Amino acid sequence: MKIAVVGATGMVGHVMLKVLREQSIPITELILVASERSVGKVIDFGGMECTVVGLQTALEHAPDIALFSAGGSTSLEWAPKFAEKGTIVIDNSSVWRMDPTKKLVVPEINGGLLTGDERIIANPNCSTIQLVLALKPLHDAYTIKRVVVSTYQSISGTGVAAVQQMENERNAIKGEMAYPYTIDQNCLPHCDDFTENGYTKEEMKLTNETKKILDPSINVTATAVRVPVQGGHSEAVNIEFENDFDLSEVRRLLHEQNGIALKDDPTTNTYPMPLYAQGKDAVFVGRIRRDESQANTLNMWIVADNLRKGAATNAVQIAQLLIDKNLV
């Protein structure tokens, strides 16, 4: 199995390599790809030294699967070229997600849609993945009408420049700013660019991708906030159902959902936090309670490592599913 990782030297790329080492994918050739300034760099992969190459060189290798995490413009230009070679591209950017001809996949939810005919598969947004994984069993049981989500998103979702900005601020060092304001000891209600309707792109991703993955009839509204946490996205979620629910049944459904870890016991201060999620693949759910202001409505708190399940792990799980089903 020839696997390419495009964007191997970036934050998500590093985590992809870590997850690939942890999985049982039978890699016979690993092709590490990055920008021209990183070509020639040697990266250790479980004792195997791999030299970083450029996109054209990787294309000539004709990998079986290419995991892309190099930004939208790179994916838009190069993913079709790899697809033409017969490579299955699993893309972590946003450029293919809402394309009606491309599947937007969270393996635990809709991995069964994959047939092997796909050549470009979209990886959802990090905040969407953890949200829909928790919503899916509840939608199946009670039918979701509306979701109100407020996110508390790690700076690692922006990239290494944002991590450096916060480190500089905490050490009183002046440096490059990834954000328009200080992030240390601050919260920015501003994730990605603003759109014409006043929402940010991140907020609209949550809305549009949730509809595509789960059900277009679900109404979703979001507020996305960047917080001074280095790893792990958190979400406060309010869910209105068509039908009433039983809290113990809700907990059972979430506990039985593959990929969910339930942390929900206020008597012992047990609830999800980014500190628990870092380095883990599970999506953690807790603070489960009725919304006492409205019928058939639930509140809960969802946390996940945005670089793992929110990006790298989900992409690798798609690759593993394709291999397990002999679709590649």
Residue 50 annotated among the catalytic residues of the structure: no
* 85 contact partners, CB below 8 Å, separation of at least 6: 59, 62
Block means of pLDDT (10 residues each) for the chain, length 328 residues? 96 95 90 94 91 97 97 96 97 97 98 96 98 98 98 96 97 96 98 97 98 98 97 97 98 98 98 96 98 98 97 97 94
Phi, psi of 240 (to 5 degrees): -100, 130
Q: How far apart are CA 72 and CA 79, in angstroms?
A: 10
Q: Given 14, 50, 126, 191, which residue is catalytic?
A: 126
Tell me which residue has tokens 């985590």: 15
**Does 2-124+311-324 match 127-306 in CATH topology?**
no
Q: Specify the fold of 127-306.
A: Dihydrodipicolinate Reductase; domain 2 (3.30.360)
Structure tokens at 301: 């708190």
Residue 50, pLDDT score: 94
**Ordered DSSP codes for 56-118:** HHHHHH--SEEEE-S-HHHHHHHHHHHHHTTPEEEE-SSTTTT-TTSEE--HHHHGGG--S--
Give the per-residue pLDDT at 102. Answer: 98
Our answer to whether residue 187 is catalytic in this structure is no
| Strand bridging mode 88-91 / 120-122 | parallel
Compute the half-sphere exposure of residue 163: CA atoms within 13 Å on the CB side of its CA. Answer: 9
How do the domains of the chain map onto residue ranges? 2-124+311-324, 127-306
Options 50, 139, 191, 233, the catalytic residue: 233
Full-model pTM: 0.96
* Domain covering 2-124+311-324, topology: Rossmann fold (3.40.50)
